[in-house]
């Protein structure tokens, strides 16, 4: 059976149900998976090896984001110079960890799939973020109009 029509139907169904309600992390994750699946057109063998690597990387990035967001609780005006310096050094460490994660994932993906598909992955992630931002803007502008 051809994978493309199934993926498109799945994407449409997930999209319709997600945007009918306020999206949460799990719904956005499901949309992202459908989008990446559609864009990459992975073989079954590639998909079996790709998703565990990709999901492990996503989890590690989520943990870094979570850790980083906890540090932003304090306002800049309330920071001492020492606290500000510590915050900067932690931010730098976090950025280095993000780069290390991306590098590790790239190395792992190069072992299981062609470089062109990895480029497609990065493009799919970027286009998904763009779609999410556009959807957010659209929803936000509707809310503003409804308040007036």
Question: Does 22 reside within a domain?
Answer: yes
My answer on whether 98 and 135 are in the same domain is no
Predicted TM-score (pTM) of this structure: 0.72
Range of the domain at 84: 58-66+80-112
Percentage of the chain lying above the pLDDT 70 cut: 78
My answer on whether 62 and 100 are in the same domain is yes
My answer on whether 107 and 124 are in the same domain is no
Question: Does 49 reside within a domain?
Answer: no
Q: Which residue has the higher pLDDT, 9 or 142?
A: 142
My answer on whether 136 and 108 are in the same domain is no
Helix axes 44-70, 81-110, angle to 10 degrees: 180
Q: Write down the mean pLDDT value for the chain.
A: 83
Please, which pLDDT band fits residue 141 given cuts at 50, 70 and 90? confident
My answer on whether 105 and 62 are in the same domain is yes
Question: Does 72 reside within a domain?
Answer: no
My answer on whether 100 and 137 are in the same domain is no
pLDDT at residue 68, as a whole number:
77
Question: Does 37 reside within a domain?
Answer: yes
Question: Does 31 reside within a domain?
Answer: yes
Contact present, 35 and 98 (Cβ < 8 Å): no
My answer on whether 98 and 128 are in the same domain is no
Instruction: Reply yes or no on whether the pLDDT at 1 is more than 50.
Output: no
Q: What 8-state DSSP symbol labels residue 79?
A: -
Instruction: Reply yes or no on whether the pLDDT at 148 is more than 90.
Output: no
Question: Does 100 reside within a domain?
Answer: yes
pLDDT at residue 18, as a whole number:
46
HEC-encoded secondary structure of 103-138: HHHHHHHHCCCCHHHHHHHHHHHHHHHHHHHHHHHH
Instruction: Give tens-digit pLDDT for 50-102.
Output: 999 999 999 999 999 888 776 666 677 778 899 889 888 988 999 999 999 99
Question: Does 74 reside within a domain?
Answer: no
My answer on whether 129 and 105 are in the same domain is no
């Amino acid at each position: 059976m051809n994978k493309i029509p199934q993926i498109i139907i799945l994407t449409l169904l997930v999209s319709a149900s997600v945007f009918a309600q306020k999206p949460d992390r799990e719904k956005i994750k499901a949309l992202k998976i459908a989008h990446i699946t559609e864009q990459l057109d992975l073989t079954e063998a590639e998909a079996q090896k790709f998703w565990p690597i990709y999901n492990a990387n996503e989890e590690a990035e989520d943990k870094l984001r979570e850790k980083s967001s906890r540090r932003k609780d304090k306002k800049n005006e309330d920071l001492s110079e020492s606290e500000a310096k510590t915050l900067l050094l932690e931010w730098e460490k976090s950025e280095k960890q993000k780069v290390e994660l991306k590098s590790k994932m790239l190395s792992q993906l190069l072992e299981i799939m062609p470089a062109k598909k990895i480029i497609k992955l990065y493009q799919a992630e970027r286009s998904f973020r763009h779609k999410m931002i556009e959807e957010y803007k659209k929803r936000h502008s509707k809310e503003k109009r409804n308040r007036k």
